[in-house]
Every structure is written in structure tokens, then in C-alpha cells.
Amino acid sequence: MTAAVAATCIAGITFSAAAQADTAKVGLGLPLLTSPFWQSYNNYLPKYAKEMGIDILAPVNSNNDPAQQITDMNNMVNLGARGIVVGPIDSAAISRALDSASAKNVAVVAVDVAPTQGKVAMVVRADNR
């Protein structure tokens, strides 16, 4: 369910960017693929994005490495992402990637963990009740 919410949120953010370009690309930065939660993002967010007509970059897996996550996010920005959905591994370290994304007007939706610094368009969290 949170994958659908994140896809809808990023769609709203990127469609305003898409008005300025033919297609809006979205990146998906996964912290790891060993939990069912993140596996569901890997399985469903690309599906929902496709249904909404959003061009999604191939999802990346940082393997629980904060430095790799920063590199992955910078790569997504350089590949033309107008929005990024990411599950921050280190809520402080990710600020460098958030600052880089913000400088290029790339909207970021943080999932499950809110960064301690840096700009995000929103934080999406699961209600595990």
C-alpha cells in the first residue's frame, strides 16, 4: 500500500515537471532487498508508475551502504530523474544527496525514515497497526 501512495505522490510532484518536458523520469533508491517491505517497493512501484505513464529508471539497491545510496541518488539525478523515491539508510548522511537533488530541482520522497537535514517533498510512512 505504501508503494502505491509513494507512486501517487511522486506522480503529482513530477507531473508539474513533466509540463516542462516530454517525460518525467522517476528514480527508486532502495536501501536493501532483504525485507518484504522493500521487496514490495521493488515489485510494485515500477508497476504503478508504468500504469500512471511515468518513466521510471531501473530501481537501485544500495545494500544498506549509506555512501552507495548517495552515489545512487546522484546517478539518478544525472540520468535525468525529476523525482526520486528513496528509503534513507542514514538519516543524516543522506543530506548530501538531498542537497544535490534540490540544487537541480529534483523532488525527493523519503519512505519510512525522515532525514534529519536536507529538503524532501514529503515523508511516507507505513502504519503498521
Residue type, 9: C
Residues 1 and 55: their CA atoms lie apart, in Å, by 20
Helix (H), strand (E), coil (C) string for 27-41: EEEECCCCCHHHHHH
Tens of pLDDT, residue by residue over 86-111, are: 999 999 999 999 999 999 999 999 99
Answer whether residue 18 shows pLDDT above 50: no
d(CA 76, CA 29): 9
- Residues, the chain: 129
Categorize the per-residue pLDDT at 121 as very low, low, confident or very high, splitting at 50, 70 and 90.
very high
Residue corresponding to grid cell 546517478: 75
| Mean pLDDT on 72-85 | 96
pTM of the model: 0.82
Q: Which residues pair with 41 in a beta bridge?
A: none
Question: Mean pLDDT over residues 24-29, rounded?
Answer: 91
**Spatial contact of 45 and 9, defined as CB atoms under 8 Å apart:** no
- Residue 8 pLDDT class (50, 70, 90 cuts): low
Which helix or strand (DSSP H or E) is residue 85 part of?
Answer: strand 81-86
Assigned superfamily of 2-124? Response regulator (3.40.50.2300)
The mean pLDDT value for 54-72 works out to 95
User: Can you give the residue ranges of every domain in the chain?
Assistant: 2-124
Q: What is the predicted pLDDT for the residue at 22? A: 59
